[in-house]
Amino acid sequence: MAGSPEAAFALLLLALIGWMAIPLLPAVFELLRPRDAAPLNAVGNDAGRLTYFAESFTQRATREGLLGTMVPPRLSDGTGIRAHSVNAPLPAQRTPITDLVVLMDSEPLPDGCELVAECLARLTMRGGRRGTYRAVLGQRDILLGEASTVLRWIHARGRLEVGNGSRLLGRATAERAIILGTGVAFDRLESAVVRVTDQETSEAALLPSGAYARFVPSYGKQVGPSYWRIDGGLPIPAGAMLAGSVVATGAIVINDGARVTGSLKAHDEIIVRSGAVVAGSLAARKRITIERGARVSGPVISESAIVIEAAVVGGSGKPTTVTAPVIRLLPGATIYGAVMASESGLTVG
């Protein structure tokens, strides 16, 4: 009945629910009709410091005297320590080595070596083929043999070189560079530069703005200065320049030799053709492909997959992030910063 206490309570409840929903309306509208095209700096749950375990182990090794002249026989918790050197090398054996291992010099480890505790390499580490390591800290370079496996983390204060067919199942970091062979599976990589093989990468030339034909989308809606929303796909012509950011409900294709100074977001796929340059970020719900000779300066983020041929992402002194559930890197692929594959990362020949 109109005016009853029940009706008044129902109206009050609806008013309260409506008032509480007001702050959520922008998010709902963005979900239904996404418009954001700003550069993406966040990389999800994997954005934590990848060198955390290496830093913690360095502190422990220093406390336990593992970096001194004489290495103790045991840690303070009773864990045994085994030293490996040219005068007293670890023997080739089928059973796992459960002691913490300290590599005193650069004497190569035997093939098939399995270390189930941490390994500290005081000089350059030279791993044998089919080695298995729980965790490795290298004070200089680390050279992993073919078909090696790292179960948790590995960090080199110099270069980390990974042999063909290896698996980096946790965090792999290096201060100077990570050089991956082919057929290398990985989860999370970070270094000043990450490169697949030593194959030379030809970077797209950065020409003056006047060398490009100016391109402005002829359809869609301009929702701000140099900011367009496109219903459908957007091909950017070869040799043209787009100054601005775009959100497209379809696919975006940056054709050969084109240049974009802004960020691109597609609800379909993004393809950066050979010789194209993007001075900004890429984000897509489907696959992002960066072809040979292309260059992208900002983060590359896909909800599906990323394929990088012999192209460059980021720049020296300007680290960025590549992240997707599935990532495939071809020989010559060069990334300055971090590479995060939440499901499957692999270098392919």
Domain range spanning residue 274? Answer: 209-338+342-346
Answer whether residue 192 is part of any domain.
Answer: yes
Q: What's residue 43's pLDDT?
A: 38
Helix (H, G, I), strand (E, B) or coil at 220: coil
324 and 190 housed in the same domain: no
- Residue by residue, DSSP assigns 143-155 as EEPTT-EEEEEEE
**pLDDT above 50 (res 225):** yes
> Is 17 inside any structural domain?
no
Single residue among 126, 161, 196 that ends a domain in this structure: 196
Output DSSP code: residue 56.
Answer: H
Q: Are residues 189 and 216 in the same domain?
A: no
79 & 57 share domain = yes
Mean pLDDT, range 16-34, rounded to an integer: 50
Q: Which of 147, 172, 196 is the last residue of a domain?
A: 196
pLDDT, one tens digit per residue, over 322-335 is 999 999 999 999 99
pLDDT average, residue stretch 206-228: 87
Alpha-carbon distances of 85 from 88, 135, 223, 225, rounded to whole Å: 5, 19, 66, 64
Asked whether residue 25 is domain-assigned, the answer is no
In a domain, 19, yes or no: no
DSSP H/E element including 172: strand 167-174
For residue 38, what pLDDT is reported? 38
Percentage of the chain modeled with pLDDT above 90: 71
Q: How many domains does the chain have?
A: 2
Tell me, yes or no, whether 132 and 231 share the same domain.
Answer: no
Using pLDDT thresholds of 50, 70 and 90, give the confidence band for residue 48: low
Per mean pLDDT, which range of 33-37, 54-58, 301-305 is the poorest?
Answer: 33-37
The answer to whether 183 and 347 are in contact (CB under 8 A) is yes
pLDDT of residue 22: 53
> Which of 43-57, 222-236, 280-294 is predicted with the least confidence, judged by mean pLDDT?
43-57
Report the alpha-carbon distance of residue 9 to residue 49 in Å, rounded.
52
First to last CA, the chain: 76
Question: Are 85 and 191 part of one and the same domain?
Answer: yes
Whether residue 138 is found in the same domain as residue 90: yes
Confidence of residue 12 (pLDDT cuts 50, 70, 90): low
Containing 16, the helix (H) or strand (E) segment is helix 5-21
pLDDT confidence bin for 279, thresholds 50/70/90:
very high
- Band of residue 36 on the pLDDT scale cut at 50, 70, 90: very low
Task: Please tell me the predicted confidence (pLDDT) of residue 209.
Answer: 76
